[in-house]
Structure formats: C-alpha cells, structure tokens
Amino acid sequence: MKKSIISIILCTLIIVQNICIFSNDIEEELDGKTVEEIIQTVSDIKETPKINSRAAIVLERNSKRILYGKNENDKRPMASTTKIITSLLVIEKGNFDDTVTVSKKAAGTGGSRLGLKTNDKITVKNLLYGLMLISGNDAAVALAEYIAGDVASFANLMNEKAKEIGLKNTHYVTPHGLDSEEHYTTAYELAILTDYALKNQTFANIVKTQNYTITINGYSKSLNNTNELLGYLDGVYGVKTGFTNGAGRCLVTATKRGDLDIICVVLGADTKKDRTQDSIKLIEYTFENYKMENLKKIIQDEFDKWQRTNKISVYKGVKENIDVILDEINIPLYPMRIDEKIEVNITANYNYEAPVNIGTIIGKLTVTLNKDNIYEFNIKAKETVRRKMIKDYFNQIIGSYCDILSNYCYRIIVLDKKIPKP
C-alpha cells in the first residue's frame, strides 16, 4: 500500500514537473475582456504608465532611441520570443521548399505544439509558419535539426548570430525558449534583435500574418496567430508572444503609425491580460507623447545661420577667409517628446595661420537633447589655403597698383575729371 502511494506521488510530481517545464505559449483568456475592450480603456496617456511586467522597453527603430525603459538591461528568460532568432536563422540558412521528416525528439517536444508526429512530412516554409504563428515547440526542434543536425549545434549558431548582431547579454540553449538557467536575454537586446530581424522581408511577412493554412503529410491545417494585438491595435505588424512559468507572459510588438516606428517588449507579466494591457499602455503612451522631427533640417539651418554671421580668418594665406563644410548628416527623422527641445551648439577656432589643408577640423557642431549630447559633427575646411609666397606678395602689389590706375582712369574718362598737376 505504501509503495503504491509513493508511486502515485512520484507520477504526480513528474506530471506536474512536465507541465511546468513545457507550459509555453498555452493561451489563457483575458479575464473575460476582449482586446477591443482593453484598448478602449487605454487612451490619451500623457504620463509615463505604470505596468505589471517585470521588464519592458519601447525602442524607436530608426534612431534606436529608448522611449521607455523598465529594467531593460536585466537578464531574464524570454520564453517563445526566442523563436524570433530561430526563424531568422532558418530563413537565412534554409530552403523553404525542402521537406523535413519529423524526428521522434521533435515530435515529443512539449508545450505549445504544431501537432507533429514522428515521421511526418512537412516543408520548411510550413514549419516556419507553425513556429511563428502558433509557437510550435515541435516545429522549433524539427527546424533546428534540419539546419544544424541537433539542438545543441543549432544553439551554437544562435549564439554566433547573437554575437554578430552585437548582443552581449543574451545566451541561447534551445530553439524554442522552454525554461533553462542558461537561456536568457534582456528587453533591450530582444528589441535590438527584433529590429534586425524585421529588416528581413521574409521574416516581416511571416510575423504580420494573422491566418495561414499549411499542409502536413498532404493534409491541410489552419493556423491563427497567437499575437493578440495583431489585427486589433492600430499599426501593429508583428511579432511574437511567449510564456513559461519561469519567464511569465512575454510579448514583442512592432507598431508603425505615420513616421513613428517602434518595437515594444514586455517580459515577465503575471497574466495574459497584464501583458496585453501593458503593451497597449506603452504603445499608446508613445504615440500620444512622441513625434518625429526632421533633425537633419534643424542642424543644417543652424549651421547655415552660423556661416552667414561668422568668418574663419587665415593669416598670411592666399585667401583671407576659408570656406567650411559640415560632416554629412546621415540622420533619419528623430523621435522627440512634444515638450522636448533640441539645442545646436557650435564651437570653432576663428583664426588660423596659413597653410590650412582641406579637411582640417575647424570646429564642432553638437546636438543636445535633455542636456545629453546625441550627435556630434565636425566642421572642416572645404579647400586648401596655402601660405603666401614672394610672388604672391608681388602679384598683390601689382594688383593693387592696377586697381589704383584703373580707378584713376575711370575718374578721367567717366567723370570727366582733370588730372591734377604733380
């Protein structure tokens, strides 16, 4: 009897442990509310919102400026948002038309599933849609084995890619994101990764898809995207949900309205409603309080104004003043709060002794926002001004004499003046 009880307890513990390990993107309800109802309760947010999520960030894609941050550099588990890099690697290294035979290991992967069985036949393209739309962990392992032979080798590729992108606080051990102590990232680096991935048009097309029909062994299966904001919140065009017991509820959202294009990441929300509400709050706060400014025009206008009122003098040069140019301004439109103000400051050395070579740095133009320098440009000599030589002084004297003679002749001929006697 005692052995039976112990066996039952052990089996129960194993089942509970498997549920805890494999609970990944298994959807829950929004506490009786629809996304539309949550959207209606979140509007006109002037003040920085309070959120439930343990870490979050809003990153503007063009400038990479952080518009909101909460523990954005803390290392945290990220659940199925891991699949962003998994899918990117497959897109870069795989062939969409290849057919994959599903292994026993892939078919046995728990959590959110595409529903693959051992020896199923499915194309890489269909596996990718199953990976990103309904977060199939079985699809993740099948793709990892297709690309690298096994999960460990694929994880090495993931880490190499992370290093290539410049992610320093990110480490992967699985292609799906089920909880593991050595599997982590930060909200900031997840946003940077997402921005990088979205530049791949194939990836962007997949993650903005709401519904898609795939075939497994020739049989059709309809998929609906687990991203609750896609198709409901204005401007949302991706990208990925996530959940494990260790990571909590996670959501990465890309949203564009007008010229403002952002990535919002929330990690470690307690419930699906919290991650949905937090994401909507942060997105609406951003679009309510930020606008895109033409920083390039502001900088150029200030430089032109400075040029009109300032001269760079050259002593002993063949020219008395030197023309200057500004470094090329490769700045896209820049996000600014409605109450923020850009300051442009110019410092320069106004006096030089010849020679002055082309490209000589004459000064600096600094762009400041909230007392922080955000951009700096060199002001440089547009041409070379050489030092005067003896012949230049001689030519200058001759030139001056010719000017005097010319003026004298003008007075005689045009003004009908008589030449005074010496």
Greatest Cα-to-Cα distance within the chain, rounded to the nearest angstrom: 143
Q: Dig out the tokens for 153 from the structure.
A: 């080798």
Catalytic residue among 23, 53, 63, 80: 80
Catalytic position from the list 103, 135, 240, 388 = 135
Distance separating alpha carbons of residues 278 and 276, to the nearest angstrom = 6
Report d(CA 217, CA 163) in Å as an integer.
37
Q: Rounded to whole angstroms, how far apart are CA atoms 191 and 266?
A: 10
| Residue type at position 141 | V
Q: What is the DSSP string of 248-261?
A: EEEEEEEEEETTEE
Give residue for tokens 């004298």: 408
Asked if 53 is an active-site residue, the reply is no
- For residues 55 and 80, give the distance between their C-alpha atoms in angstroms, rounded to a whole number: 16
**Residue 3, number of CB atoms within 10 A of its CB:** 7
Active site (annotated) includes residue 43:
no
Partners of 53 in beta bridges: none
Beta-bridge partners for 58 = 68, 264
CB 296 within 8 A of CB 331: yes
H or E segment at 125? helix 124-133
Q: 70, 83, 281, 388: which is the annotated catalytic residue?
A: 83
Round to whole Å and give the CA distance between 374 and 38: 36
d(CA 83, CA 35): 24
With beta carbons less than 8 A apart as the criterion, state whether 175 and 83 touch.
yes
Q: Tokens 């140019």 map to which residue?
A: 325
**Tokens describing residue 216:** 């497994």
Cis amide linkage into residue 239, ω under 30° from 0? yes
User: What is the chain's alpha carbon radius of gyration, rounded to the nearest angstrom?
Assistant: 33
Coil/strand/helix, residue 150: coil
Length of the chain, in residues: 422
Is 64 considered catalytic here?
no
| Euclidean distance between CA atoms 78 and 184, whole angstroms | 6
Could you give the residue numbers annotated as active site? 80, 83, 135
